[in-house]
Amino acid sequence: MSKAKQLRDRMAERGLVHIMATHSPLSAVLAEEAGFDGLWTSGFELSALYGLPDMSLISMTQHLDMLRAIAGRSSLPIVADIDTGYGNAINVIHAIAE
């Protein structure tokens, strides 16, 4: 079963899923240990890790490299909000609902 389907099934069962924003493999591991249903990696979280005010100041490669590292440390589904700083938690709701 795909990880996207896992989230949709959980949402259908409970009406709500709990997703934690993560920006590193360590935060992903901690979110999984805390019992969250999935992970959300956003441009904001990643730009904060690099100490930058906006995601548009780093490359897409850096974001994808971090996503790969997070996916390698956690078995939770990941919602990757890859944009240039204009996303928010509403993107997670739309991604799971579709």
Tens digits of residue pLDDT in 48-67: 667 776 666 666 777 788 88
Tens digits of residue pLDDT in 81-92: 776 545 555 555
Catalytic residue (choose from 54, 65, 81, 83): 54
Pick the more confident residue, 43 or 89.
43
* 63: its two tokens: 């974001």
Which range among 18-22, 30-34, 90-94 shows the weakest confidence by mean pLDDT?
Answer: 90-94
User: In 3D, which of 42, 51, 49 has the Cα closest to residue 79?
Assistant: 42
54 is catalytic: yes
> Model confidence at 93, in pLDDT bands (50, 70, 90)?
low
pLDDT, position 79:
86
Place of tokens 């949402």: 11
